[in-house]
Structure 1
Amino acid sequence: MNESTTATDMAGGMASPGDYIALLKPRVMSLVVFTALVGLVRAPDHVHPVIAFTAILCIAVGAGAAGALNMWWDADIDAIMSRTRRRPIPSGRVTPREALAFGLTLSGFSVVVLGLLVNVLSAALLAFTIFFYVVIYTMWLKRSTPQNIVIGGAAGAFPPMVAWAAASGSVSLESLLLVAIIFFWTPPHFWALALYRADDYARAGVPMLPVTAGANETRRQILLYTLFLVPLAFSPVLLGYAGIAYGVVSAVTGLGMVWLAISVYRTRTGEAAVKAARRLFGFSILYLFLLFATLLVEAFIPGI
């Protein structure tokens, strides 16, 4: 964040409810809610539906709060990047101060309510998740290291563990495995995006891997992370945490991930390279969704 935000503050916002919803990063929030729901239902202890709803609501609000605080801090670079310049703050519809107050209020609400109505462990984990995303990733890593996505990806991986703790009052190996799958999925997912948005990141001064190490090294890292991710994602079957259906889905979609990562690695020039990166980015979303959707179905229909 820099001095340019002061002018925006003085100008005042013309915000609509939709602008405040946009501050919550609803697409990211939907992924957080979905993975948290899987963590909740896979936990060994069943909770009352009202408590379960409260936990998911607080996790969703906490994720949205982190998104708002991320947009507050990144308003200067969001104004430069074509992908983000229409967001509420750089477009002038919401002032930075309004976004900051909104994010802090929702953060406090989500953590306090989760702690009072569910349990302290889940509230502490949610508070740490918000802190990690806003302070460790947004304020520090994002602008200082090309490993920003690798380390910062932990924040997006924590929600299943938070929900697991909300249901059981503890953290287990299975919940950590869910975290690990999302954590190792994040670099190939975002680096695929960064490959065809590298000019945007370079213009904003964000040291994403394609900017600092070049596209070819990024392609190599995408392939390496994918080759580690796919066996990791299959491991719940080997450890007895998932059934046959998950094993089939994980194997088939994992092969798709590897094939697309190889395509990105081998296709290095022209529009074909852009298309390869776009295909991997799009498929990676489907891949993670199918993995967690199958775990969700297996929780309700054991033995499939």
Structure 2
Amino acid sequence: MPQQSTTNQLIPSESYLEAGKTGWRDYIEITKPGINKSNLLATFAGYWIAAGFTSFNVWTFLLTMLGTALVIAGGGTVNNYYDRDIDPRMERTRQRAIPEGKIRPTIALWYGIILTILGIIVLAVGVNALAAFLGLMGFYVYVIIYTMWLKRTSTLNTVIGGICGAIPPLIGWVAVKNSLDLSAWALFLVLFMWQPPHFFALAMRKVEDYRAAGIPMLPVVKGFKETKKQTFIFTLLLCLSSLILFFTGVLSWFYLIVALVLGVVYIALALKGFYTKDDDQWAKQMFLFSLIYLTVILSVMIIDVGITEIIKMY
């Protein structure tokens, strides 16, 4: 891996002296709100599947969403703080608040820590201890295991880092059940298996960015052929994992049919990668479909439970 420059070389300290440069939007963007939105949808899916209409408590739900959002925002902010040495090297990250000198690194660090602590407190006091523990574990995996260790040392960064992205639906589930069963872990698997194909596609599209920053993403270290192979494997595992929720009885035939259709399309698109002549275009298609897949399958989970609950009422 190429030697990385020091933070002082990459971030001009005098930029912090520019009066009025920081806006409130910078303090929102540094928390990675896009990632937060998708994770909160997963949190809601976990809560809704576990609760339905009968066990749905509005206050507990709101505190669950708030606590989870704060923890995720805190993790995203600390990630921005720690990556301040490599973000300026990458086109897609060099305009973040810290590289541009809009927010001081120390302020970002404490901002992230405070957000995380508030989130854990909300989950512990307003929801339950297990929800708080899962929130803390998600933060630990994302910040310590992924950001500070694997992201800079191993191609396993994407796979192991996927654990933190699969925890939000578990938080939603335990907010209702205060325990984890097979259905909860099935939810975890769907989110966990989704992440490698999603981030492998992104890494292929931004391979030169990651290479310049010295980040050992799979396409950088082992090339596109191996990345396509692992993408296909995880896409196949995702399709199989998504079916478990039907067989545990928490979701119906409606969900099963949609999950099968989505899975077959995703697998076919992954197979296409072995024959394509335009890797960048294929990676773009895979990335876009991964976003569609996640949004649709989580939405269908939510709709399926709603339909089932209404049918039970009549």
* TM above 0.5: yes
**1:239 shift after superposition:** 2.9
Q: CA deviation at 1:174?
A: 0.8
How many angstroms apart in 2 are the aligned matches of 1:212 and 1:46?
Answer: 48
Q: What is the match of residue 29 of structure 1?
A: 36
1:60 to 69, 89, 105: 69
Moved more, 169-178 or 26-35: 169-178
Distance of 1:67 and 1:252 partners within structure 2: 33
What is the TM-score of this pair, normalised by structure 1? 0.94
Root mean square deviation of aligned Cα? 1.8
The one of 50, 53, 65 equivalent to 1:43 is 50
> Structure 1's 174 and 263: CA in aligned 2 closer, same or farther, altered over 3 A?
same
Partner residue of 1:168?
A: 177
Aligned length: 301
Letter in 2 for 1:49: V
In structure 2, the residue matched to 1:113 is 122
2: CA distance between counterparts of 1:4 and 1:88?
Answer: 14
Separation in 2 of the partners of 1:266 and 1:190?
A: 20
Contact kept in structure 1, 2:197 and 2:231, CA below 8 Å: yes
1:216 equivalent to 2:250? Answer no
Please give the alpha-carbon distance, in whole angstroms, between the structure 2 residues aligned to 1:93 and 1:206.
25
How many Å apart are 1:11 and its aligned residue? Answer: 4.4
User: Which residue of structure 1 aligns with residue 131 of structure 2?
Assistant: 122
Q: Which residue of 2 aligns with 1:4?
A: 7
Q: For 1:28, give the aligned amino acid.
A: I
TM-score, reference length from structure 2? 0.91
Shift of 1:280: 0.7
- Which runs of at least 4 in structure 1 moved beyond 6 Å after TM superposition? none
Task: State how 1:227-266 maps to structure 2 within 5 Å.
Answer: 227-266=236-275
Distance 1:173 1:239 in 2: 7
Q: Distance in 2 between matches of 1:167 and 1:10?
A: 50
CA pair 166-16 structure 1, distance change in 2 beyond 3 A: same
SS across alignment from 1:164: helix
Picking from 173, 191, 199, the partner of 1:182 is 191
Of residues 69, 72, 75, the one that matches 2:81 is 72
What is the deviation of 1:12?
2.2
- What amino acid is the match of 2:177? S
In the alignment, what sits opposite 1:296? Answer: 302
Please, which runs of 5 or more residues in structure 1 have no aligned partner?
Answer: none
Query: Aligned pair in 2 of structure 1 residues 47, 235: CA closer, same or farther (>3 Å)?
Result: closer
Distance 1:83 1:103 in 2: 21
Does the CA-based 8 Å contact 1:114-1:123 persist in structure 2? yes
What aligned pairs does 1:68-107 form with structure 2 within 5 A after superposition? Answer: 68-107=77-116
Query: Secondary structure at 1:102's aligned position in 2?
Result: helix
Q: Distance in 2 between matches of 1:100 and 1:35?
A: 26
Which amino acid counterpart does residue 296 of structure 1 have in structure 2? Answer: I
CA distance in 1, matches of 2:257, 2:144: 39
- Find the residue that maps to 1:170 and give its secondary structure: coil
Look up the equivalent residue of 2:270 and give its one-letter code: A
8 A contact 1:260–1:280 mirrored in 2: yes
Counterpart of 2:203 in 1: which secondary structure? helix
Gaps in structure 2 of 5+ consecutive residues: none
User: What is the CA-CA distance between 1:5 and the residue it aligns to?
Assistant: 4.8
> What letter matches 1:59 in structure 2?
T
Q: What are the Cα deviations for residues 141-188 of structure 1, in whole angstroms up to 9, with x where unaligned?
A: 100100100011100110000111112211121111111111111111
